[in-house]
Amino acid sequence: MDRIVVTGNGPLQGTIPIAGAKNACLTLMPATLLSDEPLTLTNAPRLSDIRTMTQLLQSLGCEVTSLQDGQVIAMSSHDIGNLTAHYDIVRKMRASILVLGPMLARHGRAVVSLPGGCAIGARPVDLHLKALEAMGAEMDLRDGYVHAKAPAGGLRGGEIDFPFVSVGATENALMAATLARGTTVIRNAAREPEIVDLAICLRKMGARIEGEGTSTITVEGVDRLHGATHPVVTDRIELGTYMLAPAICGGEVECLGGRIELVGAFCEKLDAAGIDVTQTEKGLKVSRRGDLIRAVNVTTEPFPGFPTDLQAQMMALLCTAQGTSVLEEKIFENRFMHAPELMRMGARIDVHGGTATVTGVKTLRGAPVMATDLRASVSLILAGLAAEGETVVSRVYHLDRGYEHVVRKLRGVGAKIERIKGE
């Protein structure tokens, strides 16, 4: 398995291009199942999760062609011959569940493997199923699969009241509702930019949607959707991740394509920690105000709150802050696996349930560490950028799921980092 070797190398200078959002692309791709006309995505990120979604759609009979070195994904679902999403693909990536709503809405049937849990939590899909049942679907769970069936006349518009915010369940419900007969109202809907991006794409395909980005989304079902071409929105999690590089190392980095509205709550915490963020024409320019990072408290929440997907990376910054920071992880039940690895580098972190207390130390020391999940892996790299000596991060396949060309992007601003091919 490959490893990444990072050596603390002082302040960073330059620009980092930010790619299209993994979590937008993973819901935009299944939208092809809603129409028999081509859907083309531009500004797509080059990631292993996108390749997995491509395999899944192809296994259903979709034509998926990757163009321009993966930045353009041309899809057509004219001849879907198979309505079963098999476990061997679904188990590799939970977002596979997002083919359920579109298949049910257009074909009236779908058999999708339950995704199973993952390192950061059990991550059930009960809200996805309840939302589709509110549109008249029948769900039969057996042999580890969801056997879903729409009523004879197709899905009906329904009232969906989510007990708590779920990004994926909102996406499944939104896609299914575009072809349901009548009006669907989704309450306590997720407000993430990826939901807004999906709604914009669906509207280009002919869907009738109002309220995306708020807690209540209303959809008037239509008979069919046509093809479209849509640019994937900038990845706010990759953006926030790279904004932390100059915050941790010093210097000044401009993240190209970055927009403040994608990372509002995150920027508020950076400001409190002593980090300056400026919107330029090309993106977000980030630098440290002084030599010291100030401790801040963080609680993860659904958008527009502080994103859970930036919690691990923020912890890496706070390890060398002046004072004690308290991080509360409210979205997932097991998302502090980066803490023991950061402690190997000299960090002082106490984890109790969903709360991590970080007591700042003067500096971290490089050490061999292990990536455990996608965002934890990049937090270890960020910590290694400013640590004294060499940090070797193993199991970097986690990283490839969500970050393209990490070594190239960080080398581009002066980091001392290389990838060692594994045996």
- Shortest distance (Å) from residue 294 CB to ligand EPZ: 26
By the rule CB under 6 A, 168 interacts with ligand EPZ: yes
Q: Give the residue with the Cβ less far from ligand EPZ, 202 or 387.
A: 202
Give the dihedral sign, CA 159/213/234/406.
negative
State in angstroms the smallest separation of the CB of 346 from ligand EPZ: 26
| 319 given a catalytic annotation | no
Using the rule CB under 6 A, is 127 a contact of ligand EPZ? yes
Determine, following the binding rule CB under 6 A, whether residue 124 of this chain makes contact with ligand EPZ.
yes
Which 317-336 residues touch ligand EPZ, going by CB under 6 A?
331-332
* Smallest separation (angstroms) from ligand EPZ to the CB of 226: 26
Q: Judged by CB under 6 A, does residue 375 bind ligand EPZ?
A: yes
Nearer to ligand EPZ, 121 or 389 (CB): 121
Query: Cis omega (within 30 of 0) on the bond before 304?
Result: yes
Distance CA 114, CA 97 (A): 7
The residue of the chain with the least Cβ separation from ligand EPZ equals: 168
List the one residue from 12, 25, 26, 382 that touches ligand EPZ (CB under 6 A): 26
The reply on whether position 29 binds ligand EPZ by CB under 6 A is no
User: Which is nearer to ligand EPZ, 209 or 399 (by Cβ)?
Assistant: 399
Instruction: Rule CB under 6 A: choose which of 123, 147, 259, 419 binds ligand EPZ.
Output: 123
Taking the C-alpha atoms of residue 177 and residue 199, their distance in angstroms, rounded to an integer, is 11
Residue 23 touching ligand EPZ (CB under 6 A): yes
The percent of the chain in helix, strand and coil, each rounded to the nearest 5, is: 35, 30, 35
Report the 10 Å Cβ neighbour count for 388. 14
Q: What is the DSSP string of 106-138?
A: HHSEEEEE----BTTB----HHHHHHHHTTT-E
First to last CA, the chain: 6
**324 to 315, 320, 343, 349, 356: CA distances (angstroms):** 11, 10, 15, 10, 10
Minimum CB–partner distance for residue 31 and ligand EPZ (Å): 14
Scored b (16 or more CB within 10 A) or e, 79-114 reads: ebeebebbbebbebbbbbbbbbbbbbbbebebbbbb
In single-letter form, the type of residue at position 35 comes to S
What would the two tokens of residue 53 be? 């979604």
Cα distance between residue 35 and residue 300, in whole Å: 36
Kindly state whether residue 309 participates in binding ligand EPZ, applying the rule CB under 6 A: yes
x/- track of binding to ligand EPZ for residues 247-286 (CB under 6 A): ----------------------------------------
Active site residues: 118
Residues interacting with ligand EPZ, by CB under 6 A? Answer: 22-23, 26, 94-95, 121, 123-128, 166-169, 308-309, 331-332, 374-375, 402
